[in-house]
Amino acid sequence: MCISVFGLGYVGCVTAASLANDGHTVVGAEVNAEKVRQINASASPVGEPGLPKLLASVVQMGRLRATTDIAEAVAASDLAMICVGTPSGPHGRLSLGAVERVARDIGCALCARRETYTVVVRSTVLPGTTERAILPALLDGAGPGAARRVRVAVNPEFMREGSSLRDFAQPPMTLVGCADSETGALVRSLYPSITAPFVQTGIRTAEIVKYACNAFHALKVCFSNEIGDLCDAFDIDPQEVMRIFLMDRKLNVSEAYLRPGFAFGGSCLPKDLRALLGAGRSADLTLPLLSTLLPANDARIRRAVDAVMDTGKRRIGVVGLAFKAGTDDLRESPMVALVEGLIGKGCDVRVLDRGVALPRLVGANQRYIQDQIPHIASLMCDDANEILRHAEVLVIGNAGLDAANVLDAADERHIVLDLTRGQLQSTAKALVTIVA
């Protein structure tokens, strides 16, 4: 395929050279004439291990050349990839000037073209940017009727400086956001030698996945550093601790806990976080990341209370009381906190959780109920029909059998708020409003 790559910085150079190495014919377009001169002279304008040798090879084979002429690059290609930078502007906002200019210039170059042309956004942009900024700029340049012959897709890169050639060839996935399967198949054909999973999704989803990845990478760095600080304070080798931590592929380095839903609770996480933070304070450590976790968790509960109150209804049915479906553990359950919050707001609350059989509770669970929430027994329902008769609003806290039964029997009289963030499977799913 003939491909034009707009922007010849780190991402653009690596993308252009790697695509050319895979057998495509590539034209690099760049406003910086010095970068264009360097590439055409078989030299790399950026420092990246292995890139100078690869660039020299594909340029000498005639598979890659560079130009400052955007119209020339578009005319010589069947597909354009936008790889220009999106630096931070004031207050963290992205500076979209370069990407919008490139999109408009590509559109102008397409004015006289009648064949279908695909523009792939590889630059990192926030969700909605392609639809609200890049596509309008592209169509504005291309003129009336261009929407029928211009397709767009988002194809984020997952490359790290210093290992970008290897990351290009062995990505975690090939991710494409677009509106139709034909465009997805076209973008997939750009990477014939890549065996990583191919994922096609919506444009906004593809845009935000890159941000989710980078935010998580930043989170991991800060988390590791704060655990390292705690280890140093107690004369423990932090590298040894993290080596052992990483051996847990069931919970620590896994899909576990990485499902959007409600707040955490139970007998371990809140208690152990408080203990760790207390130990940090004793060692004069601030631990800014770890210190945000409990307040963030409390904010999630308050947000759920607010969502219920915003319905304007006062007869509430809560499905799921234990901190986790299938258990009877009420200790520090966020659902208990939610119920308490709703009662405090004057709501008439009923609760269904048949895993919590109050007469059978013993030990810490029994003491917790007796000491902290003795009135809960008067709120409990025996079955789905009872809670449905009472409730104007159904709050789904656990994705268990109780929730499925309630949702299957719910009707248009009920407002349903799903705190599990869509983890439920039910014939009544259309009734559900997911609480974000």
Q: What is the pLDDT of residues 397-418, one digit of tens each?
A: 988 888 988 999 999 899 999 9
Which amino acid, residue 51?
A: L
Percent share of the chain, pLDDT over 90: 78
**Residue with more model confidence, 326 or 307:** 307
- The residue among 172, 206, 240 that closes a domain is 206
Q: What is the pLDDT of residue 362?
A: 65
> Which residues does 182 contact at the CB level (< 8 Å), separation at least 6?
151
pLDDT band at 427 (very low <50, low <70, confident <90, very high): very low
Does residue 429 form part of some domain? yes
Q: Do 30 and 66 touch, CB atoms closer than 8 A?
A: yes
Does residue 136 form part of some domain? yes
Give the span between the Cα atoms of 120 and 11, in whole angstroms.
13
Q: Are residues 158 and 25 in the same domain?
A: yes
Structure tokens at 29: 């377009």
**Residue with more model confidence, 93 or 175:** 175
Give the span between the Cα atoms of 2 and 115, in whole angstroms.
14
For the CA atoms of 407, 412, 414, 420, what is the dihedral angle to 10 degrees? Answer: 40
Give the span between the Cα atoms of 156 and 336, in whole angstroms.
41
Q: Does residue 394 surpass a pLDDT of 50? A: yes
Q: Are residues 313 and 423 in the same domain?
A: yes
pLDDT band at 145 (very low <50, low <70, confident <90, very high): confident
Give the span between the Cα atoms of 395 and 435, in whole angstroms.
10
Q: Are residues 189 and 301 in the same domain?
A: no
Q: What is the pLDDT of residue 89?
A: 81
DSSP letters of 339-377? HHHHHHTT-EEEEE-TT--GGG--HHHHHHHHHH-GGGG
> Which residues does 112 contact at the CB level (< 8 Å), separation at least 6?
none
Give the span between the Cα atoms of 158 and 117, in whole angstroms.
25
Percent share of the chain, pLDDT over 70: 93
CATH of the domain at 45: 3.40.50.720
Give the span between the Cα atoms of 269 and 324, in whole angstroms.
13
Give the span between the Cα atoms of 81 and 97, in whole angstroms.
17
Q: What is the pLDDT of residue 134?
A: 97
Q: Are residues 18 and 147 in the same domain?
A: yes
Structure tokens at 238: 């932090």
Does residue 246 form part of some domain? no
Q: What is the pLDDT of residue 42?
A: 96
- The residue among 176, 206, 236 that closes a domain is 206
Which tens digit of pLDDT belongs to each residue from 264-285?
A: 998 899 999 999 999 999 999 9
Across 127-141, 181-195, 248-262, 344-358, least confident range:
344-358
Q: What is the pLDDT of residue 279?
A: 95
Q: Are residues 51 and 190 in the same domain?
A: yes
Q: Are residues 114 and 12 in the same domain?
A: yes
DSSP H/E element including 65: strand 64-67
Does residue 324 form part of some domain? yes
Q: Are residues 51 and 196 in the same domain?
A: yes
Sheet containing strand 415-418, edge to edge, reads 348-352, 315-319, 393-396, 415-418, 432-434
Does residue 408 form part of some domain? yes
- Per-residue burial over 274-298, b if 16 or more Cβ lie within 10 Å, else e, is eebbeebeeeebebeebbebbeebe
- CA torsion sign for 118, 143, 87, 177 is negative
Q: Does residue 376 surpass a pLDDT of 90? A: no
Q: What is the pLDDT of residue 433?
A: 55
Does residue 224 form part of some domain? no
Q: Does residue 424 surpass a pLDDT of 60? A: no
Number of domains making up the chain: 2
Query: What domain range is 162 assigned to?
Result: 2-206
Q: Are residues 201 and 301 in the same domain?
A: no
- Collapsing DSSP states into helix, strand and coil, what is residue 434? strand
- Per-residue burial over 326-363, b if 16 or more Cβ lie within 10 Å, else e, is ebbbbbbbbbbbbbbbbbeeebebbbbbbbbeeeebee
Q: What is the pLDDT of residue 359?
A: 62
- The residue among 186, 206, 226 that closes a domain is 206
Q: What is the pLDDT of residue 434?
A: 52
Give the span between the Cα atoms of 408 and 391, in whole angstroms.
15
> For all residues of the chain together, what is the average pLDDT?
91
Q: Are residues 199 and 325 in the same domain?
A: no
Give the span between the Cα atoms of 204 and 289, in whole angstroms.
28
Structure tokens at 430: 């259309």
Which tens digit of pLDDT belongs to each residue from 16-72?
A: 999 999 999 999 999 999 999 999 999 999 999 999 999 999 999 999 999 999 999
Q: What is the pLDDT of residue 422?
A: 58
Q: Are residues 155 and 14 in the same domain?
A: yes
Closest by CA position to 135, among listed 87, 181, 177, 194: 177
64-67 and 2-6: which strand pairing?
A: unpaired
Q: What is the pLDDT of residue 430?
A: 39
Q: Are residues 194 and 318 in the same domain?
A: no
If you average pLDDT over residues 162-182, what whole number do you get?
A: 96
Q: Does residue 428 surpass a pLDDT of 80? A: no
If you average pLDDT over residues 230-240, what whole number do you get?
A: 97
Closest by CA position to 72, among listed 30, 16, 121, 100: 30
- CA torsion sign for 46, 52, 57, 61 is positive
For the annotated catalytic residues, the residue numbers are: 268
Give the span between the Cα atoms of 266 and 365, in whole angstroms.
11
Q: Are residues 190 and 315 in the same domain?
A: no
Q: Cα dist. 193→35, 169, 218, 433 in Å?
A: 28, 8, 30, 42
For the chain, percent helix, then strand, then coil, each to nearest 5? Answer: 45, 15, 40
Does residue 272 form part of some domain? no
Does residue 181 form part of some domain? yes
Beta strands, E only, 126-285: 150-154, 174-177, 198-201
pTM beyond 0.75, yes or no: yes
Query: How many beta carbons lie within 10 A of that of residue 428, not counting itself?
Result: 17
pLDDT band at 423 (very low <50, low <70, confident <90, very high): low
pLDDT band at 241 (very low <50, low <70, confident <90, very high): very high
Which amino acid, residue 353?
A: D
